[in-house]
Structure 1
């Protein structure tokens, strides 16, 4: 029995320091409509999202009913405050998966929560097509658990939004396909 998880990295958002309520930009809203059109062809059985507004807005057009909010699919916390150079700070946590900036999560910590929830979904929604509105870094950390080819360099190439269909037999990853292109 094949279970398909469609990890949807949120569309472009307007930066605000309020991570939870940061909305999509006008372009992000247009792209979210395209995401909905693409995924409606995939016969999605259930829609799950990070509780962050930008992730919810990206997948809300797919949902036939309520979206299940799952905190474990929120973006990884890089640090407890601003970092001087975001790319360098992110590269550092990918180079040493145990390292965490003050107030932040290491790759090991963030990956553990994302993978645990992913494995739970594979059991509770076996044989279904599930769309998951999430964020780039946590998405790639989860993918990395199943295949080390999904790493920092892969993350750097992601678009906003981006969709990857991960197909599983039980908990074994059997295929990854990029769905659509938003570059």
Structure 2
């Protein structure tokens, strides 16, 4: 049986130090409307999101369009890089991708984040087998999960993501059989 997962990387947000409650920017709100347009013909049966406001807001239109509530799943939250702010983000993120065991104090290794995200995805695949599911998430955790299934989803792939972005992962009996880029 085919199950389609539509990973939606959140739209652009207005920066605040409050990661959990950072809202979409004005452009992000417009892009979230485009996400709804692109997914409005996909017969979505379930909408799940990271608990972060920007991820929820990006898929809110899809849930409204299909008359669905949004279920929150901590497994799809962004990976924590460190306890506090990271000043040299590009350098740190590259280290995380080069060594999946690398971790700054208070952060989460890529392996730990991948395990968390893949476990959540496997639960979704088992619970909603044969359905079309939208998952509002973040670029790093999305690509780390995709990397579990195919190593070509790596740092370079992550760097080239759009914000927002949509990838349709096609599973047959919990095996990834295809990936389509939906955002245009």
TM over 0.5: yes
How high is the TM-score relative to the length of structure 2?
0.97
Matched, 1:154 2:134: no
Residue 41 of structure 1 aligns to a residue whose secondary structure is: coil
Q: Distance in 1 between matches of 2:57 and 2:86?
A: 27
- Structure 1 residue ranges (4+ consecutive) displaced by more than 3 angstroms after TM superposition: none
Instruction: Measure the CA separation in 2 of the matches of 1:96 and 1:14.
Output: 30
Residue in structure 2 matching 1:127, options 125, 130, 148: 130
Query: Shift of the alpha carbon at 1:3?
Result: 0.2
RMSD of aligned alpha carbons: 0.6
Q: Aligned with 1:5: secondary structure?
A: strand
- Residue 165 (structure 1) aligned with residue 168 (structure 2): yes
User: Is there any run of 5+ residues in structure 2 with no aligned partner, and where?
Assistant: none
- 120, 139, 142: which one aligns with 1:139: 142
User: Using the alignment, how far apart are the partners of 2:68 and 2:128 within structure 1?
Assistant: 16
**2: CA distance, partners of 1:93 / 1:167:** 27
Task: Write the deviation string for residues 110-135 of structure 1: whole angstroms up to 9, x where unpaired.
Answer: 00000001011111000000000000
Deviations 1:143-172 (CA, angstroms, capped at 9, x unpaired): 000000000110000000000000000111
- Say yes or no: does 1:8 pair with 2:11: no
Unaligned runs of 5+ in 1: none
* Partner of residue 109, structure 1: 112
Distance in 1 between residues matched to 2:165 and 2:33, nearest whole Å: 13
